[in-house]
Amino acid sequence: MEKRIVDIYAGKRTLKALLFPKFDEYGDRPALSFYDSEPITYAELKEKVMALSRMLEERGITKGDRVAIIGENSPNWGITYLAITTMGAVAVPILPDFHAEDIAHIIRHSGARMIFATRRQMEKLAEVDISSAECVISLDDFEPEVYPIRTSTISRLWNQAMEVIRSLPSRVGLVSTEPNESDLAAIVYTSGTTGHSKGVMLTHYNIASNIIQIDHFFDVTPADRILSILPISHSYENTLGFLYVIYKGAPIYYLGKKPTPRMLGIACQRVRPTVMASVPLIIEKIYKKQVVPLLNKNLLMKAMSSLPLTRKLIMKKIGKKLVDFFGGELRTMSFGGAPLSEDIELFMRECGFPYAVGYGMTEASPVVTGAKVDETRLGSVGKPLIDIDIKIVDPDENGIGEIYIKGPNVMKGYYKNKDLTDEVLTEDGWLKTGDLGYLDEDNYLYIKGRSKSLILGPSGENIFPETIEEKLNVHPFVIESLVLERDGRLEAWIYPDYEALEDKLEGKSELEREKVMSEIMKAICDEVNQKLPAYSRLSRCVEHPEPFEKTPTLKIKRYLYYKK
């Protein structure tokens, strides 16, 4: 593997050293905004970051102190993160979809002295014990908040306590110590499919290195417009969709709300983004709800879409309409955070939709591999970024084994959890990802599944439930599915698309409904089994009447259902 980062970037690898010069370089260019507001410039961004850092210093925050951020995407979220990290403190970003008890645990476990939260999130905080923190600041307007925070001492007079905090002596004039490369920049708590919430310790060196690594496969310029739709508190959006974009001087626009199709359409027409980071679910919904019904609309359309020449014309038109939906100027939609199914990828390739792919994990800051629009390969997540090594450990006869990663972006370890750190980090610096995959002859990586979800077939074959789920999930009657083993047989739990099944279920009695659903489940099972080798065929499909519980990146928390 060619090593060139040190040669290309000889500066100090901290977020302050990397980004502060960019504030001056792009001074009067737009930086951060909601999609329907005027953006602040990079010069104004620098002023706001420095002012907030001074406010933190005045309230006693010094180098190494942890400061939590919980809130929906906004310019103020980005300002807060930059202010914390560039003054030498440690950001603790918390995903806004976390439950109240999880938030309280993170605040206590991290030892966060201060919390920035939107008022929407403060409703959660009022329900739990976060008395370990000294102060809560509104992420909406940076004002201190006074409200009852539950503690074990109910009679505590919180208003008086907060007034005492407000009256602490000012620390004006204190200059915080400059962050070093080895200092922590963030502790990111993950909620993975295995059920263990872990505090990933990322140093300035880790994150800054990943920004530089991304710059050697991505190609954002100041002329681009980025619409941010994923939680900025997640490492994928934080590094790729925020810090890297700041490094390149492009403007970032936030929705301020959840990306429903209607909201997304309005924002895209306003911003006309050229680059977006996304998870596959958005395209999957469009494909299943709009494209598949169109191609199966009638016998004529079915016939036309089965002929190469007419299908090519139809798919080209669909591709144009899809790009138009995203504002008409999209040149790259980068997918990560969850697997991209082969059917969806084939659709995007066929209609000419400009997509890029990548793979990563929070423990790697997070981006590990990538491929530009014109370099993608079907089923692959791209090639390792510069200065990242990948090896496949204990491969089977097909070359599939556990993926190990090594590079300057690999985490320092898990906060307050040496045993778990020792489990995933080898003595010579390799990160055990827990993912299974293989490398082709050109060093393209292919992900096959998680080692903990691997199922052994009747003759010792490796069965990857994720591969079967991909085939199930593209069915028009399926929203999501989970494949598991029971008594030596494979079965699929399916959360159906009840809206798509409305005509079949309307007016049916409970008994009739059960019979219809049973027939539908059997039909789905038979259809998918035709696409699977004999050893990985499903014994049955059963209805799961509610959505599966998921991680913030929309991966099913398998451990919850394996226990059942």
Give the per-residue SS3 of 311-356: HHHHHHHHHHHHHHHCCCCCCEEEECCCCCCHHHHHHHHHHCCCEE
Q: Which of 72-76, 91-95, 349-353, 458-462 has the lowest mean pLDDT?
A: 458-462
Residue 146, CA distances (Å) to 96, 263, 311 in order: 21, 33, 62
Same fold, 226-452 and 454-562: no
Q: How does pLDDT run across 196-214, given as a tens digit for each residue?
A: 578 999 999 999 999 999 9
- The whole-model pTM stands at 0.84
The CATH topology of domain 454-562 is GMP Synthetase; Chain A, domain 3 (3.30.300)
Strand partners of residue 391: 404
Binned at pLDDT 50, 70 and 90, residue 534 comes out as confident
Q: What pLDDT is recorded for position 27?
A: 96
Alpha-helical runs (H) found in 272-307: 281-286, 292-295, 299-306
3-state SS string over 203-244?
Answer: EHHHHHHHHHHHCCCCCCCCCCCEEECCCCCCHHHHHHHHHH
Q: What pLDDT is recorded for position 297?
A: 84
Query: Which whole number is the average pLDDT over 471-491?
Result: 91
User: In a 3-state reduction of DSSP, which class is residue 139?
Assistant: coil
- CATH number for the region 13-179 comes to 3.40.50.980
pLDDT at 162 over 70: no
Residue 49, CA distances (Å) to 55, 113, 158, 232, 260 in order: 10, 19, 29, 17, 31
Highest mean pLDDT among 6-15, 161-170, 332-341, 422-431: 422-431
In degrees, to the nearest 5, what angle opens at C-alpha 199 toward C-alphas 212 and 385? 25
Q: What pLDDT is recorded for position 461?
A: 77
Average pLDDT, the chain: 88
pLDDT at 158 over 60: no
Q: Where are the domains of the chain?
A: 13-179, 226-452, 454-562
Query: Which whole number is the average pLDDT over 343-349?
Result: 93
The CATH topology of domain 226-452 is Rossmann fold (3.40.50)
Q: What pLDDT is recorded for position 153?
A: 30
Q: Please report where in the chains the tokens 């993950």 appear, as a residue.
A: 190
Q: How does pLDDT run across 224-247, given as a tens digit for each residue?
A: 999 999 999 999 999 999 999 999
On the question of a cis peptide bond just before residue 395, with omega within 30 degrees of 0, the verdict is no
Output phi, psi for 97, to 5 deg: -85, -5
Query: Which whole number is the average pLDDT over 510-519?
Result: 93
